[in-house]
Amino acid sequence: MPRLFTALRIPDSLSLQLALLKGGLNGARWIDRENYHITLAFFGDIDRHTANDLVVALGGIDRHAFSLRVDRLDVFGNDKPRALFAHVEPDPALMDLQGEIERIATRHGVPRDRRKFVPHVTLARLKGTAPHEVARFIHSRGGYHSAEFEVEGFDLLSSKASIGGGPYLTEARYRLESFEGLYDESDLEGEWAGEAAPPRISVPA
């Protein structure tokens, strides 16, 4: 089974801005901009029955669309840097959505991630990069922050266990602005696309 997780896709305008920050950092393996995303909850390798149940259960989420913005660049692993990321301001609506997704996953037997949720977009994996080099890089980008962008839904994505940083396949897509989780077969690429897809979630008239 592929590794599954839920995430927010970011708009092309923001991904282009973030991609322009690339370069000038030793030991950085830069993420391709088409793979930028904000992870909400990581499910890992789960069996197909549980995955199908999650696809349907996530469709029951009933929330408004909301706005987010990137407020700074930061790094995971201060003494031994391992990832450069764009930090996303933790809006209450985002935190509530993330919490609901985790509760749904827990009810279906998926272990809760013990790490504190830090909303972010990973820009580069780091190996052998000195802390002062990261600090200098962040300082040279002049306190980067983005304009607000609208979040109108979230995706269920999959990745191969042996590959970090993408490519990712879209298994299901859920809308927020209509207040209904909607499984949308268009633009789906993974195991649930086509004949293997679970039944479409109906939207009440």
Written in H, E and C, the secondary structure of the chain is CCEEEEEEECCHHHHHHHHCCCCCCCCEEECCHHHCEEEEEEEEECCHHHHHHHHHHHCCCCCCCEEECEEEEEEECCCCCCEEEEEECCCHHHHHHHHHHHHHHHHCCCCCCCCCCCCEEEEEEECCCCHHHHHHHHHHCCCCCCCCEEECEEEEEEECCCCCCCCCEEEEEEECCCCCCCCCCCCCCCCCCHHHCCCCCCCCC
Quick check: is 37 catalytic? yes
Task: Please give the model's pTM, rounded to 2 decimal places.
Answer: 0.84
Residue 204 counted as domain residue: no
Provide, rounded to the nearest whole percent, the portion of the chain with pLDDT above 90.
Answer: 72
Residue 74 counted as domain residue: yes
The amino acid at residue 53 is D
Active-site residue, from 120, 132, 139, 145: 120
174 or 195: whose pLDDT is higher? 174
Please tell me the total count of domains within the chain.
Answer: 1
Residue 199 is predicted with a pLDDT of: 35
The amino acid at residue 17 is Q
Quick check: is 139 catalytic? no
For residue range 56-78, list pLDDT tens digits in order.
Answer: 999 999 999 999 999 999 999 98
Residue 165 counted as domain residue: yes
The CATH code of the domain that includes 125 is 3.90.1140.10
Active-site residue, from 37, 64, 108, 145: 37
Residue 200 counted as domain residue: no
> What six digits make up the tokens of 152?
């109108």
The parent domain of residue 121 ranges over 3-194
CB 104 within 8 Å of CB 120: no
> What six digits make up the tokens of 173?
């897509």
Name the one residue in this structure whose structure tokens are 């013990």: 114
pLDDT over threshold 80, residue 155: yes
Residue 203 counted as domain residue: no
Residue 140 counted as domain residue: yes
For residue range 109-118, list pLDDT tens digits in order.
Answer: 999 888 899 9
Residue 28 counted as domain residue: yes
